[in-house]
Amino acid sequence: MQAKGRIHWLAVLAGTLLDNVLSLLIGGIAISITPDIGQGSYFTSTAATVTWVLLVLCTVAGGWLAGRIAKHERFLHGFMVGGFGIVLLLLNSWLGGQVTLDQLALVFVAAGLAGLAGYSSRWMPARERK
């Protein structure tokens, strides 16, 4: 067991992996249904809005998993899963990709919600407390 105050990188990696796998799956399904879903604003159609809500929920699930595995400093571990999304967005922008304001806002909202999900992972169902 790691000492308190240390980051459990395996937990962050597992949460990030879950986030990315679920996001790729949902993104692939969304593109197969609506091929022009990534064009323009993300809130122009119902399909785009539903897709982005699901993608934020993927980051939340990854944050919850990271907090659950870490067992200490759960908010930090959950937030770091969303933090990787921020880093990837900045890297995409640096490499010449176009980053819109709604993309930036969604990534920061997802990171905050992932942190809260990591924090909430400390509560266990009554049957697991024994």
Considering the entire predicted model, what is its pTM?
0.86
- The domain segmentation of the chain, as residue ranges, is 9-122
- Per-residue pLDDT tens digits of the chain, which is 130 residues long: 555 668 899 999 999 999 999 999 998 998 898 887 766 666 778 888 899 999 999 999 999 999 999 988 999 999 999 999 999 999 989 998 888 888 899 999 999 999 999 999 988 766 665 5
Q: Which two tokens stand for residue 65?
A: 């998993």
Spatial distance between the Cα atoms of 125 and 32, rounded to a whole number of angstroms = 38
